[in-house]
Amino acid sequence: FEKKQTLKSLDVVLQEVSDLLKKQIEINGKTFSPEKKNTFKLAVLPLFNESGAITILGTTISSRLLSKMYDPGKIVLVEKSQLGRLIDEQSFQKSGLILSNQNLEIGRLSGADLILLGTVQFDDQSFLLQLRVVSLQSGEILAVAESVFDSDDSLYNQYRSVKP
């Protein structure tokens, strides 16, 4: 029988992807905004599943990414409650990783320079996390990260619970 590959925990993956995204933002941010100070305002949107719904897990991961993406002097965060008021969950459905005008509008209204969006998908005992950071000024993708993390009952239940 085949030995199951040891998968990383969600905590380890979140640390890795946030470090990777921050590095890419720092490098690509210089070309994206030469006239600007080196600080960007980042809005972290809830993550979607493969069918475009926001799940409890997607919300949990985006909340945890919020604190990991904070980088004093480089990345400031848009307050989640401020962002929440701008997102009408129903009309926001199905946009996931697609950079819709609506996502851009939400980001702009929140005063953000960049938005982090993505998906979390279940695949046979593990989850695939795909993230991207997009410039609201140009619509360009400044950073991307993808990783796989191990599933457990708690994570799977959060994944199956669609946010009302």
Enumerate residue ranges in the chain where pLDDT < 50.
1-3, 88-98
CATH architecture of 11-160: 3-Layer(aba) Sandwich (3.40)
The reply to whether the predicted model has a pTM over 0.85 is: no
Query: How many other CB atoms sit within 10 Å of the CB of residue 121?
Result: 16
CA distances from 24 to 17, 107, 122, 136, 143 (A): 11, 20, 26, 16, 5
Q: Tens of pLDDT along 27-59? A: 888 776 656 667 899 989 889 898 888 899 999
pLDDT at 122: 94
d(C-alpha 23, C-alpha 148), whole Å: 20
Residues in CB range of 60: below 8 A, 6 or more apart: 158
- Per-domain boundaries in the chain: 11-160
Residues in CB range of 108: below 8 A, 6 or more apart: 136
Give bridge partners of residue 127 from the DSSP assignment. Answer: 122, 149
